[in-house]
Chains A and B, each alone.
Chain A
């Protein structure tokens, strides 16, 4: 038989993550929404609560936990603030190349700081030409005197302006089939965060461009094998990036359901709460079905990953299902709220905006179908 239950310890992790989110993140959400910024307090709080240390091995100052625990934490944070969960998830994405592909020296240098929050990370792959076709990457590198010179521009990068450590993919100027991945650090000459985006949803989550102009990167900042960087980028995006998006989507779905149940029990129509109307009940049931199905997909993929396997395909399925479901849930939540759902005082209007940012992040639903169909046909 298959055991679908969380361990007692995982339930405690969920409790800890929920309490943290409600006490330390929720108070900052209004200002994040209002300004589109105000990310500093939530990042600081999350790092202090060891949220970035989850998957980092204990020998490098982390907690040495798995991807199920990471998913639990992200789900609980996203239930309160998808914007914060997104920054956390991409921060984790920026940590993963060090764990999976870093040298011992790179791990020793970067991971302890990333675990405590002294450093914050991101991964920069997407360019104005697109993110789903990484081979069209224009950001290039040239080897010179034992270093690498990088030039180019990355866009839609979560944590672009706040990450101290950025893992950036570039193509060899002399070989368009050779991609490499480099560690860039804030303050390097020729490397800077440029335009800051103002998104329709996930407000308060930092997203922007980074610019590389003759940026000299020392050879020891190469992650993995030179020319084999696509493997690094794809491995972390498919296994960790999409897994993180599943956490964001599940948390948002749960928030939609909770808000809807509360409103439906309080809103009186025809002399009784609207939760007694079948039309409303069916929407709530649909939301619950999606959450249950999404959790099974997501946590199964994470458990596969924890067992030492690759779970990119399984996460593609989970990412497709949960982000689509989050959009459905947000629309239903707004519908249940009627006119109130269009008012910013009610969180469901935020949920709707956030839900539509989940779709393209870490690959659109159509790209997920491309991946899934390749899996099916392979």
Chain B
């Protein structure tokens, strides 16, 4: 096979697109949950009661959301209809928004 002359594919597999969409949602959820825990103490107390430390519950929630949604989206092909470049841009944008959102929140709020 000559990879240099093969036509380039512009599509992603169902597993890849599914887990990328799940990552976009999990990244934004992570920042939203951090804001909610910081702004609403009872939520922090509930999460502390679940695992002994709210940070552990936070991490488990984000990981389960990412893995669970990724599995569901992969099996259903829900993200396959989304353009590959849009998914990549969405992931970059969500990481930028979520990262800056955390820094700005803890700097000024």
Are A and B part of the same complex? no
